[in-house]
């Protein structure tokens, strides 16, 4: 079984494209150190479960189910350094 993670590709005009991922803190696979690739501590993030009926950050209602939120910063480098 693989470690729980999310992939991102972020682009913006004039900035370098960033492809990265974050890992879910507390995942048993992560705790065992079963990751194939090195996992930086800065990429391990807490996900906070939200109760049913809680609107998403953009105001949507997703029905009668739980969801989780995670906050982190993404910083893009200039295209030319």
6-42: pLDDT as tens digits: 999 999 999 999 999 999 999 998 877 666 666 889 9
Number of domains in the chain: 1
**Token pair 């501590």 in the structure block, residue:** 41
Residues 57-80 have pLDDT tens digits of 999 999 899 999 999 999 999 998
CA distance 45 to 81: 29
CA angle 3, 32, 74 (to 5 degrees): 45
Rounded to two decimals, the pTM is: 0.78
First to last CA, the chain: 40
**Residue 20 lies inside a defined structural domain of this protein:** yes
Give a yes or no: residue 31 inside a domain: yes
Residue 37 lies in a domain: yes
75, part of any domain: no
The reply to whether 81 falls in a domain is: no
Residue 81 clears pLDDT 90, i.e. is over it: no
Q: Establish if 28 belongs to a structural domain.
A: yes
Residue 21 lies in a domain: yes
Taking the C-alpha atoms of 53, 59, 45 and 76 in order, what is their torsion angle to the nearest 10 degrees? 170
pLDDT reported for residue 31:
77
Structural domain boundaries, residue 15: 5-69
């Amino acid at each position: 079984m693989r470690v729980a993670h999310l992939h991102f590709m972020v682009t913006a005009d004039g900035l370098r494209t960033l492809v990265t991922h974050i890992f879910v803190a507390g995942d048993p696979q992560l705790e065992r150190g079963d990751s194939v690739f090195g996992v930086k501590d800065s990429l391990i993030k807490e996900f906070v479960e939200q109760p049913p009926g809680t609107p998403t950050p953009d105001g949507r209602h997703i029905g009668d189910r739980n969801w989780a939120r995670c906050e982190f910063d993404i910083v893009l480098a200039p295209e030319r350094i």
